């Protein structure tokens, strides 16, 4: 076993996107940033003035959909009042020289995730979380079908003021764009290159490594044990169909990724059984994060294979996943200027702490 408490100071390369590296520096004196106490989140069940609360439906644009069918609603999708992208073309494309633009065409929608105002994901029932993720799937599919120009539908959630949520009522967002976001593009292209060389999905390889609980490196000449690697130390939760992993090169101190154990490139391919297990693993993971952080505020987002012709061959090489990024510190000038993330909690120690949370 490697000791998770051992101080670490090393630059770790993200295996999926090698151009992205993280400085893991845990020794106290090296800490370049201090954790800010996040503004407390709103935990009230109902707020009379909240546009997303039950009874205030007239305060939002008309619902695109409510779920399950019929009242009372548990989930409600509405147009974003301040969309970052829209149907219209107010500004004609006047590209000049290096100033190239693409139409800001797209869709921006909000899903009210629960009829209780301040409920957190780990407080929602597994059944509700399954409905939430099935509805992400259903709406993503509808958006892709609505216009072939849409190449990517990003589903994400900002939870708590520290994560940039402007409305306290729990909600998710869909942003459908005619371009593939850079982060997704980097993952899709690098995993395709890996597949071309190794004929294996790099995410499946990572899962296999995570499930290899111990590996021993022997010295070639003396035959003595050089190092024992405990690779399984990055596993937070393992279900029938999903696994929650603390990435070895985590950008954020408490970042956790959830992936399907069996290879699947497109989130649209999930079955109701998949979603039921995902709901369970997510609920357990969020409970652990909330217990360790004392009220987790986070962003989570789905990364799935883009619906773009140039990525039509990525079915075997890409593997969809949910990235959960709790916000415990503000990026420093060093991070913004260098692009090098600094993580002051070793991912091994973070995983050990998360695993130690007692759950029923």
Window of 53-61, 91-99, 103-111, 151-159 that interacts with Zn ion by CB under 5 A: 53-61
Contact 2, 351 (CB under 8 A): no
Helix (H) or strand (E) holding 311: none
Q: How far apart are CA 225 and CA 221, in angstroms?
A: 11
The residue within the footprint of Zn ion, chosen from 25, 201, 236, 276 (CB under 5 A), is 201
Q: How far apart are CA 335 and CA 322, in angstroms?
A: 24
Q: Order across the sheet with 63-67: list the strands.
A: 63-67, 75-79, 107-112, 171-177, 152-159, 298-303, 321-326, 256-260, 242-245, 235-238
Q: Which of 138, 172, 132, 160 is nearest to 52 (CA)?
A: 172
Contact 282, 129 (CB under 8 A): yes
Window of 46-54, 76-84, 229-237, 288-296 that interacts with Zn ion by CB under 5 A: 46-54
Shorter beta-carbon distance to Zn ion: residue 24 or 202: 202
What is the footprint of Zn ion within residues 103-132 (CB under 5 A)?
Answer: 117
Q: How far is the CB of 39 from Zn ion (least distance, A)?
A: 17
What is the footprint of Zn ion within residues 251-280 (CB under 5 A)?
Answer: 263
Check residue 303 for interaction with Zn ion (CB under 5 A).
yes
Check residue 50 for interaction with Zn ion (CB under 5 A).
yes
Provide the β-strand partners of residue 157. Answer: 172, 300
Check residue 53 for interaction with Zn ion (CB under 5 A).
yes
Shorter beta-carbon distance to Zn ion: residue 238 or 353: 238
Check residue 203 for interaction with Zn ion (CB under 5 A).
yes
Shorter beta-carbon distance to Zn ion: residue 122 or 263: 263
Check residue 23 for interaction with Zn ion (CB under 5 A).
no
Residues that bind Zn ion (CB under 5 A): 47, 50, 52-53, 117, 169, 201, 203-204, 263, 303, 319
């Amino acid at each position: 076993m490697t000791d998770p408490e051992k101080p670490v100071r090393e630059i770790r390369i993200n295996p999926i996107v090698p151009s992205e590296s993280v400085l893991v520096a845990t020794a106290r004196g090296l800490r370049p940033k201090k954790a800010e106490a996040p503004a407390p989140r709103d935990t009230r069940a109902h707020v009379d003035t909240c546009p997303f609360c039950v009874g205030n439906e007239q305060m939002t644009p008309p619902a695109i959909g409510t779920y399950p069918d019929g009242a009372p609603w548990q989930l409600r999708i509405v147009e974003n009042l301040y969309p970052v992208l829209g149907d219209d073309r107010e500004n004609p494309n006047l590209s000049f020289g290096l100033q190239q633009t693409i139409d800001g065409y797209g869709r921006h929608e909000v899903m009210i995730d629960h009829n209780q105002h301040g409920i957190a994901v780990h407080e929602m029932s597994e059944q509700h979380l399954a409905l939430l993720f099935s509805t992400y799937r259903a709406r993503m599919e509808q958006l892709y079908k609505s216009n072939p120009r849409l190449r990517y539908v990003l589903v994400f959630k900002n939870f708590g003021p520290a994560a940039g949520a402007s409305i306290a009522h729990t909600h998710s967002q869909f942003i459908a764009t005619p371009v593939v976001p850079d982060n997704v593009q980097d993952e899709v292209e690098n995993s395709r290159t890996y597949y071309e060389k190794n004929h294996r999905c790099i995410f499946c390889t990572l899962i296999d490594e995570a499930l290899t609980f111990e590996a021993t490196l022997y010295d070639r000449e003396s035959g003595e044990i050089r190092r024992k690697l405990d690779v399984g130390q990055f596993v937070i939760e393992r279900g029938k169909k999903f696994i929650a992993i603390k990435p070895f090169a985590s950008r954020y101190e408490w970042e956790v990724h959830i992936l399907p154990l069996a290879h699947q490139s497109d989130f649209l391919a999930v079955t109701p059984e998949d979603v039921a297990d995902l709901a369970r693993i997510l609920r357990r993971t969020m409970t652990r994060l909330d217990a360790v952080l004392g009220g987790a505020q986070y962003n989570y987002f789905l990364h799935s294979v883009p619906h773009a012709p140039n990525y039509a061959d990525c079915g075997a090489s890409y593997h969809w996943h949910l990235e959960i990024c709790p916000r415990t510190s503000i990026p420093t000038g060093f991070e913004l200027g260098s692009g090098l993330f600094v993580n002051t909690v070793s991912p091994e120690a973070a995983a050990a702490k998360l695993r130690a949370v007692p759950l029923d």
